[in-house]
Structure 1
């Protein structure tokens, strides 16, 4: 995917990063050692072949001068913290980190090298029709089970892992929702709705957020495309940068409950251990769908995405507002 946030580097810069991470003996010769991985929306990714033939993945945060949403500042550091937390406190498989450089000396952004997982991206393979239906269904069920295990990790505050922390989920969620709306106003994003009306729709139902009393690790961005599959099983979870402590009901695998353009959530829910939602849970899920829809719509301007993506995001926001009793 194309995005102005992708911080592409010259071969010379990539060689310097390799030398910092693995030493001069691993700096590759020639020009064919780096292949850009283009499926992501935000960071630059390269598959790097070291001098000894070992393959690794290099992930680079956006350039310093490119505008990003407020919660996306230093987001790679949040991902590093999340990967460390998952590795320490769960058995959920995540790639090994080999080298982290936060100095911003080689380029104007954080970067890290991590393990190249020898597996297929589950979501891409499923969308391309390369997997039989029973494997896709089992994959979503397994993803739900892994997501449930991640949610078992309990934090000491609500909000982003590295802070700022909040004492209640209602305060954390409302603050973060207000912030993404403000990001949209700052970039003059036309939501198709008055931002104050969108905020009121959220806040009019925010009392249900008080039902969340324990801050659980929430991946937020755990779509099928952020999981790797081998022999019909998920063998790694990637892209932990948006993880926070909050309500597991905001996980991506449940989005299809509200938005029909997303995958059927039934197999995910089986693995997740969720049968039916009560009134509070249903309203909370609607709030998270609204939050996601606003974020996707605001991102179209910040990422300089296509008019088609903007129109699609507008449709999702209209649906989300309707779920909360607002109609155009």
Structure 2
């Protein structure tokens, strides 16, 4: 997908990055050594075939001069921290980081190489009709099981993995939501609702956030398209850049509880071991869905989208959620 945040590079620059990471003897001499993945919206990502034929994956953060959301500053560094935590504290399959360069000496952005996972992208395979219904449900049960294991990691605070956090989840979520609204106001995005209306609705229902007392590592963005499937099993979890310490009920696998058009929550919940949501969890989930719909709308401006389908969907979702809380325009 086209996005102005994608920091794509030509072959000459990719060869310089390969040499820095793996040495001159691993620099490919022939053309066709780099294949760019196009389905993501934020980072540039490649399969790279090294000089000896070994495939690796390369991920490149947005260029320094491109505006990103507040929460997206230095996000690749947070991703590296999330990967470290998951690798060290769980058995969840995460590709090993082979080399990370945060110096900006040969490129105006962070980047890192990691193991290449030779498998199908689960979400893409499902969307293209290459999986049976039973295979899709089994994949989401597997994803739920793995997501639960990730959520067992306890953090030192709520909010960002790196830097200062918050003492309570209410503070952390409130700060994240405020950043989303301010990012939208900065570019004049029309959410269909005045930002103060959305602020007031979240504030009116924020008491339930105090029920979250232990900061857990949550991926936030663990969809089918951020997992890799081989022989009916999830063999790799990728794209950890949005991970934070927070409430597992915010995980993407539960989105369809509120919103249509997203991956079914039931098999995910079965794999997770979640029979249902308590009243507090249900109320919290609705707040997280409001935040998701808000950021979906706002980020379309920061990505330079021409196709307005995501923006239109986000507006519809916000209208639905606000109506459920007794608010109509």
TM-score by length of 2: 0.98
Residue equivalent to 2:301:
301
Residue equivalent to 2:242:
242
CA distance in 1, matches of 2:324, 2:274: 20
Structure 1 outlier segments of 4+, above 6 Å? none
Residue equivalent to 2:254:
254
Q: 2:253 is paired with a residue of what secondary structure?
A: helix
- Shift of residue 70 of structure 1? 0.2
Higher deviation after alignment, 63-72 or 305-314: 305-314
Answering whether residue 160 of structure 2 is matched by residue 160 of structure 1, we say yes
CA distance in 2, matches of 1:173, 1:143: 25
CA distance in 1, matches of 2:327, 2:67: 31
Does the Cα contact within 8 Å between 1:226 and 1:237 map onto a contact in 2? yes
- Shift of residue 323 of structure 1? 2.9
Does the Cα contact within 8 Å between 1:293 and 1:320 map onto a contact in 2? no
Residue equivalent to 1:325:
326
- Shift of residue 322 of structure 1? 2.2
- Which string of whole-angstrom CA distances, capped at 9 and with x for unpartnered residues, describes residues 55-100 of structure 1? 1111000010100000000000000000000001111110011100
Higher deviation after alignment, 176-185 or 314-323: 314-323
- Shift of residue 273 of structure 1? 1.5
Residue equivalent to 1:311:
312
Answering whether residue 176 of structure 2 is matched by residue 191 of structure 1, we say no
Q: 2:236 is paired with a residue of what secondary structure?
A: strand
- Shift of residue 46 of structure 1? 1.1
- Which string of whole-angstrom CA distances, capped at 9 and with x for unpartnered residues, describes residues 258-282 of structure 1? 0011122110011111112121111
CA distance in 1, matches of 2:31, 2:246: 45
Q: 2:164 is paired with a residue of what secondary structure?
A: coil
1:38-117 pair list within 5 angstroms: 38-117=38-117
CA distance in 2, matches of 1:121, 1:175: 33
Answering whether residue 27 of structure 2 is matched by residue 27 of structure 1, we say yes
CA distance in 2, matches of 1:324, 1:31: 57
The count of corresponding residues between Structure 1 and Structure 2 is 328
TM-score by length of 1: 0.99
Gaps of 5+ in 2: none
CA distance in 2, matches of 1:14, 1:283: 47
Gaps of 5+ in 1: none
Residue equivalent to 1:220:
220
- Shift of residue 181 of structure 1? 0.4
RMSD: 0.8
- Shift of residue 163 of structure 1? 2.8
